[in-house]
Each structure stands twice: as structure tokens, then as C-alpha cells.
Amino acid sequence: MGARSILSWIFTFSACAILAIGRIYDERLSILDVNFSVIISAFYLFTALAILFSIRSVSINKTKFSFYLFYFSCLVMPPILWVFFGVNGYGTEKYINFLLIIIPISVIILEKYELKDVFYTLLILVGVSCLLALLALFGLASSDRVDGRMAALGGGPIVFARWMGLGLIVLFFMPLKSKKIYKYVILTIFFILALASGSRGPILSLLITFSIFILLNFNRVFVKLLVSLLFIISVLFISGAGKQISEIGGFDRVFMNVSKKGGSKQSTGTRMDLALGSFVLFQHYPLGVGAGNWKYTVNKIRPDHLIPLEYPHNLFFEVGNEYGVFVLIILIFTLLFIATMSYKKMMKYREYTTLYPVLFYLFIFFFLNSLVSGMINDSRILFVIMSMILISKPLIITKNKKQSFLL
């Protein structure tokens, strides 16, 4: 194995670790006075810089130009807006993590990645999902919340549910040589643990994603899906396992608005307040208020409806409010271009074994998640998937659908 190959592998593992952590420095990863996020970040930054400096040329098309323009705007606009609206620690941290994590990884994927790089990166990310699932199964992933919802090593129930969704989608759509019985057992575990997180946004995103899959492949999968669902429901009902599963973590919270006849809508009501605050702020400052200034400015405009959250939990609201309407327009066009490109590539190579189906459905899943929870840096996997879709070299494994990668 050559030095270049070793460098590439170190980058891949450290980049996936940084994507899982979500920040360059995380105080929660200190063990015996050693902060492992610093060590991981050092490997990541060194290898990322080395690979970035090895890029000799960049090819540009319309969609790629829009993607890079969005990144450039996210770097330029905050400092300009901070001059007028001030800067705070939260906004600075958001800016630095976007600059050092999302942008370098995206550029390296776009300019250096090929088929196997994408394949193994997705597998490593699934490895994170498996690790979190194992911790949950051994009772080590519960949060300190009173409702007992599953969490991801301090990352929160929503983050945990997203990782379960990622693992489920990748294992379902990736062309892997594995026995189906083991595969579907793992898929079932991922889904049950996602439900146990009590996070409705990721669950709804997952259900919509697979609904789109069924609509696009109705004749091919409907009967199989119906038989599988009837079998699983029968097993759960006859064995009594369904009742035991429903008592895990925050399972009942996913259906609380239905089970409690609409009596518990705190989370839904909060999202409405965030949306209303975002609309009001946009009316006052359509050119943006600077990264990290959303909460302060919204509460200043609406002092009778104070919001305790730092961000609007919607990617469009956040970009429009903090970065401005022009950056929002670029983002919308970029997403439309990439969604169209992803679908066209999947359909164009449908007679081949490719990675385009898994990328298409991951894009849908993480895009839907970005509309209901998290901030722009929490959408880092979405930006990574977008970068993979934009790779110019076709991600084709073989023309024979029966062929696949070995684990």
C-alpha cells in the first residue's frame, strides 16, 4: 500500500469520524484528560489539506458551479453581516465548523473521489450507525432525559434517529453480497431503535423516503412488501414482542398526537413558533442578520413571544434569515439541480448495478430531515451526499445486476 493510498484511508476514516462528531472540538470526548476530538481533528485536517493541495484542475458545470457558489456565499456573507448585526460565540463556532468540515470534505469528494471511495465512505458511515445501535442494545445509548429516549453519545434523540435512518437506507439499497435474513434483521433493529428515539421528524422522513421508493417501483415491490409487512405484523402480534418493543425508549412519543387525541402537541407548536418567527424576521431583514444571530434578532423583533432555541430548525429558514435571500435562492436552485441530476442518473443507469439509488434515497431522507430539525451544520451528511451525486465519473459497479461488492 503506497503513501497516497494510506493518506486517502486516513482521510476517509477521520472525515467520517468528524462527520459523526459534527465539530472540530467536542468537550464531551475527553477521557482521562485526553480529548479524542482533537486527535481525530488533527489527522483529518492534515490529510484534508494534503489532498486539497494535490488537486491540479477543477471541471465546472452548471450544477457544480451553483454548489460551489452556495459554499462561497456562506463564507462571504456572515463576516459582512456581522459588521452590522454583531458576532457571538455560537455564530463563530458555526462558521468555523462549516468552513473546516463541510467545505473541505465536499471539495475532496467532488474532485478526488471515485466509485470505491464513495462505497467505502458509505460503509464506514453505516459502521457508525451499527456502533450506536450496539450501544443502544446494551443499554448504553439512553439519554439523561426523563422520557428515556435513545440518544447518540450525547448527540440527542434526533441525531440518533438520523443515524439509524442512514444505516437502514444504505443497507437496503447498497449492492452488497449478504444473506437477506441477516440483512433484514439488522434493518428491523435500525427501524425499531429509530422509533425508540421518539423523534418524529426522522421517522416521518424515513416513511416518506420509502413511500417514494414504492411509488417509483410499485409493480416490482408492492406484493413483496405487502407479504413482508403481514408476516412481520403477524410475528409481532403472535409472539407478544410488539408490546415489549413499544415500551422501549420514547416509542410512544412518535405517535403521541394520535394516541393522545391531539392533546400533546408541544413539539409541533414549537415548530410553528419557529416558522412564524422566521417569516417575521425575513420581512424585517431579507438580506440576512449573520450566522448565529437568528435567536437574538427574532426575540428583539417579537419580545412578547420569546424563543429559547438558537436556530429555526429548518434549513431554508436558517439560510434565508442568517445568510440572506440571495444565498437562499442559490441553495434552492442547487437543491433542485442536484435532485433532478440524482433522479436522472438513477434512471439512466437503472439497468446497471450502481450507487445512484442509495444516493438518491439518502438525499431525500436528509433533505426532509433538514426541513424539520437541526441547523446548517447538522445537514453535513446532506451536503456530503450532494457532493457524491455530483461526481462526474459514473458510479457504476457492473452491467450485471447480480454483481455486487463483497464486504
**Boundaries of every domain in the chain:** 1-54, 61-398
324 vs 310: CA distance, rounded Å: 17
Per-residue confidence (pLDDT) for residue 240, from 0 to 100: 52
Highest mean pLDDT, choosing among 30-34, 130-134, 184-188: 130-134
User: Residue 5 and residue 10: Cα distance in Å, rounded?
Assistant: 9
Of 70-84, 235-249, 286-300, the poorest mean pLDDT is in: 235-249
Mean pLDDT (the chain, rounded): 85
Burial class (CB in 10 A: 0-12, 13-18, 19+), 326: middle
Residue 369 has pLDDT above 90, yes or no: yes
Residue 74: alpha-carbon gap to chain centroid: 19
Residues 6+ apart with CB under 8 A from 26: 35, 37
Most confident range, picked from 152-156, 157-161, 353-357: 353-357
Coil, strand or helix at 57: coil
pLDDT tens for 297-340 read 999 998 888 888 899 999 999 999 999 999 999 999 999 999 99
* Cα distance between residue 361 and residue 212, in whole Å: 9
Would you give the end-to-end CA distance of the chain in angstroms?
Answer: 19
Share of the chain above pLDDT 70, in %: 80
Element containing residue 145 per DSSP (H, E)? none
Identify the band that residue 146 occupies on the pLDDT scale cut at 50, 70 and 90: very low
Amino acid 175: pLDDT? 86
Q: What average pLDDT does the segment 188-204 reach?
A: 86
User: What pLDDT does residue 401 have?
Assistant: 55
